[in-house]
A and B are shown apart, each in its own frame.
Chain A
């Protein structure tokens, strides 16, 4: 299993541009999450999903959108990028039956908005 994969690894955006951060997991996990981590800070939850077709806002959803059309994929969309969205973005998933609450993280996407 590849686990949780994220693309791209790095990206530089200009203010006002849009992009989609991709996240895929091959562990058949229903629960998936998007976090951002600013320098020296913990992770802040942006959006999460408990299964295909179901998404919910986290602590910091403004400026982002998500979709969950399949169990495997959970893309994060940035519209009209702003410098405040410069951060490292992590995607994570947890097992479907919640036998373990461990979150499996992808390697992250480092985004700079200038």
Chain B
């Protein structure tokens, strides 16, 4: 089992849709969790950290489920500009393969 696994996608959604990504991790002792966004041929950039209590930043909500060892990212009211690859990261240095999202008009 891979350390960090993500929904492979791609996800193709219309503008305004709500979309959710999951990411599972194998190490139950993992302490830190993040979602990064990567645009085509660019470097990854931090989207948000994931806290035990869950956290929200505008249209984005991240949640952690320690019992089932997964984190999730919910995007509401999708915009064209949300089109990117979303990478989950566990313990600073373990990256998932990414989930590609395309938002269409």
Residues of A within 8 A of B (CB): 33, 35, 40-45, 48, 58, 90, 94, 101-103, 105-108
Selected A-B contacts with CB under 8 Å, 18 pairs: A40-B97, A41-B97, A42-B96, A42-B97, A43-B87, A44-B95, A48-B93, A90-B43, A90-B44, A101-B92, A102-B34, A102-B46, A103-B89, A105-B43, A105-B44, A105-B45, A108-B42, A108-B43
Contacts of A94 in B (CB 8 A): 92
Contact mask for chain B residues 87-105; partner A; CB cutoff 8 A; 1 contact, 0 none:
1010011111110000000
Interface size class of B (residues with CB under 8 A): 10 to 19
Contact (Cβ within 8 A) B87 A103: no
Bound-state Cα–Cα, A40 to B97, Å: 7
Contact (Cβ within 8 A) A42 B98: yes
- A-B pairs with CB below 8 Å: how many? 42
Interchain CB contact (< 8 A) of B92 among A44, A103, A106 = A103
Among B1-29, those with CB < 8 Å from A are 4, 6
Contacts of B65 in A (CB 8 A): none
Contact (Cβ within 8 A) A58 B98: no
Contact mask for chain B residues 63-105; partner A; CB cutoff 8 A; 1 contact, 0 none:
0000000000000000000000001010011111110000000
* B61: Cβ under 8 A from any A Cβ: no
Query: CB-nearest residue of chain B relative to A45?
Result: B93
* B55: Cβ under 8 A from any A Cβ: no
Contact (Cβ within 8 A) B98 A107: no
Contacts of A43 in B (CB 8 A): 44, 87, 95
Bound-state Cα–Cα, A106 to B46, Å: 13
Most buried by A among B34, B45, B95, B97: B95
Shortest beta-carbon distance, B57 to chain A, in Å?
A: 14
Contact (Cβ within 8 A) A33 B97: no
Bound-state Cα–Cα, A58 to B34, Å: 19
Query: CB-nearest residue of chain B relative to A108?
Result: B43
